[in-house]
Amino acid sequence: MNDIGRRAALGAGAGLLAAGLLGAGRGEAQPAFRPSRPVRLVVPFPPGGPTDLLGRLVAERLSVLWGVPVVVENRAGGGTAVGTNVVARSAPDGHVIGLVISSHVINPALRDDLPFDALRDFAHVTQMTEAHVAFVANAALPADDLRGMIALSKRTPEGLSYASPGVGSLSHLVGELLASATGANMVHIPYPGSAPAQTDLLASRVPLMFDVWHSVRSHVEAGQLKVLGLASGRPLPGWERLPLIRDIVPGIEAASMFGIVAPGGTPAPTVAALAAGIRTILLSGDMPERLRDLGMEPVASTPEAFTAYVAAEIARWRTVVRERGLKPA
């Protein structure tokens, strides 16, 4: 989606939002907690990226729903740990929440220097969305499907390199998971972010990469990249012909996660009320369409489901890290 589309996604339909979201709650019991002053939504990235765009879209609509400003606070650094730590150290009263991504479940598996415990120090409010992750290859790669890539890697003494936006990223660990499960000879090449990794992928300096679908779609449509498989566990709307990796290699399933957390110790009724509000805006009006414009699918899980998901994912990635002997950069 271009910049004009993004601005439209962020700014569209305030009147519709007020009528649709607020009207949706009429006749229903209101949660016991409701914000009484501005809410800070901590985003662990600089302004302008897809995570920040999601945060601002959610903040705008929560402001209307709750009747108080929801202010995005960008706190980048530390592989998202800086911003997440701000949340962990905030008062558990529902007025500071944080946006977390897949690094929230990968960092504890890979790092022992985190200033917080990813489970104990947070109340997990809801997994808002997930983004499909595609395993793509440069069009010049002499293999057109996943099985062909695996076979080619085993015939290549130096292996096939795959790019990622950094050590410990979801892209990195999904590649390690695939290599472990199949015996594929894959060599990880970390980059300082997705943009330079994708640049080298398109230039054939590296043949493979796991990346979110939204980032690679235009290059797939242009014939510059080909999709070897989707790591996501469900078909991609409009692209159902793309194979799912799990159907070829059972157990390989991953999607880029975006969720909301509150400080640990936040009372359960407050967490439930936060979750109810966020789930309302995620599933109401044109929000699902706006999310899909950003390459995301709404999930809107309960606090209990999100907590269980986080615990299971941390355990899963710890196993991968241990088996592959991975170390932080």
**Tens-place pLDDT, residues 199-234:** 999 999 999 999 999 889 999 999 999 999 999 888
Same-domain check for residues 148 and 245: yes
End-to-end Cα separation, the chain, in angstroms: 32
From residue 272, how far is each of 33, 160, 199, 268, 269 by CA, in Å?
A: 9, 47, 43, 6, 5
**Tens-place pLDDT, residues 128-176:** 999 999 999 999 999 999 999 999 999 999 999 999 988 888 999 999 9
Residues of the chain above pLDDT 70, percent? 90
Same-domain check for residues 247 and 294: no
Q: Specify the amino acid at residue 320.
A: V
CA 48, CA 155: separation in Å to the nearest integer?
A: 42
For the cut 50, the answer to whether the pLDDT of residue 27 exceeds it is no
From residue 152, how far is each of 28, 58, 139, 289 by CA, in Å?
A: 58, 44, 15, 39
Same-domain check for residues 184 and 84: no
Same-domain check for residues 7 and 115: yes
Same-domain check for residues 270 and 213: no
Residues of the chain above pLDDT 90, percent? 73
**Tens-place pLDDT, residues 260-277:** 999 999 999 999 999 999
Q: What is the average pLDDT across 275-295?
A: 92
Predicted pLDDT at 328: 78
Domain residue limits at 217: 133-254
Domain count of the chain?
2
Q: Does residue 20 lie within any of the structural domains?
A: no
Going 176 to 244 to 118 to 128, the CA torsion angle's sign is: positive
Predicted pLDDT at 32: 63
For the cut 90, the answer to whether the pLDDT of residue 13 exceeds it is no
Please identify which residue in the block is written with the tokens 């662990």.
44
Which of 254, 278, 293 terminates a domain? The answer is 254
Predicted pLDDT at 206: 97
Burial class (CB in 10 A: 0-12, 13-18, 19+), 261: buried
161: domain CATH number?
Answer: 3.40.190.10
Same-domain check for residues 121 and 138: no
**Tens-place pLDDT, residues 80-138:** 899 999 999 999 999 999 999 999 999 999 999 999 999 999 999 999 999 999 999 99
Q: What is the average pLDDT across 181-196?
A: 92
Same-domain check for residues 99 and 10: yes
For the cut 90, the answer to whether the pLDDT of residue 62 exceeds it is yes
Tokens of 283: 């599933």
Same-domain check for residues 167 and 101: no
Same-domain check for residues 77 and 182: no
**Tens-place pLDDT, residues 32-42:** 678 999 999 99
Q: What is the average pLDDT across 285-303?
A: 91
Which of 254, 282, 299 terminates a domain? The answer is 254
For the cut 80, the answer to whether the pLDDT of residue 25 exceeds it is no
Total residue count of the chain as it appears in this document:
329
Same-domain check for residues 154 and 119: no
Which of 202, 221, 254 terminates a domain? The answer is 254
Same-domain check for residues 139 and 122: no
- Pairing assessment for the beta strands 296-298 and 133-138 based on DSSP bridges: unpaired
